[in-house]
Amino acid sequence: MILTIHRGAKEIGGSCIELQSDKSRILIDCGLPLVDENREQLDSRKIIKQSKEALLKKGFLPRIKGLYDNEPQQIDAVLLSHPHQDHYGLLSYINPKIPVYMSRGCKALIEVSYFFGQTNYDLGNIKTVKAWEPFKKGDFTITPYLVDHSGFDALAYLIEAEGKRIFYSGDFRGHGRKKVLFDNLLKHPPQKIDYLILEGSMIGRDKGKYNTESDIEKELANLFKDDEKLFFAACSSQNIDRLVSVYRACLRTKRTFVIDPYTAFVLDKLKILSSKTPQFNWNNMKIFFVPNTYTDKMAKGKSLYKFKSAKITYEDIQSMRNKLVETPVV
């Protein structure tokens, strides 16, 4: 087996790894770089406007024979670890006949991003997989592992072929709400691994103020006990762990969590995957119909009406501001 790291060994983001056996070739992730050719923060809007040939020339697209459209297909599959753009952001350029394997949660969040125009990858040839259920692709036997990460339903992969075993961690961590997965992996790691490929996104960072997501929830609850203030909680609407922490802290302090329609849409998409994901019609949840492009998109698609029963007005917020926690209105 031949292992090629096309990108991700010398930088964070833009991950892309190739495995080749005698008769099969697969990729693990095909991510958008976080920096441009000058090592400055990348504006992803510049990528969308450029041709495949220009992106190959500038090095944004990895030079992998048989990966792209308009050339003979030589890649049998792509394994996607989780729904962050630095791991899937270049998939729209690959040959649409190549199957892309991912978790159900990953698929759901990329569908949300596509609907709202955050990505131009339309999930044309998706195969969903379940954690710890092996499947075969050509010469490769692949076993997904569910891992703890801010990207919902993230996967690591054990990949076997030609007598070799490779374990790819993807982005994983041990301080989120699924830290038990990390602990169990350390206690019962896959055996006889020939190559271990680990993400290192925390390398070089100072230790944070809080060790775990549970610590964050406790501190939020302590803050929310102040019954004279309105609190704002700013985080990605796709960071489900953090939204759960805020919601649980609201429950502990008898506050109402006020979210925007986009966040409500994301949470609604994930309810079939986890009964613990907060929903707009739960106790202590309300929606402020903030006027923005996302709300307009939902109104035009007729999905906004679903959340009408949880609507809270500006006047309501003013009258009960010391009993609320809001996501920032932009």
pLDDT given at position 180: 95
Question: CA geometry: angle at 220 spanning 216 and 225, to 5°?
Answer: 155
pLDDT given at position 204: 58
* Domains of the chain: residue spans and CATH: 2-197 (3.60.15.10), 213-326 (no CATH)
pLDDT given at position 203: 57
Asked whether the beta carbons of 154 and 170 are under 8 A apart, the reply is yes
CA terminus-to-terminus distance, the chain: 50
pTM of the prediction?
A: 0.93
Q: Is the pLDDT of residue 235 over 70?
A: yes
122-151 pLDDT, tens digit per residue, is 888 999 999 999 999 999 999 999 999 988
- Is residue 137 within a helix (H) or strand (E), and if so which, with residue range? strand 135-137
76-98 pLDDT, tens digit per residue, is 999 999 999 999 999 999 999 99
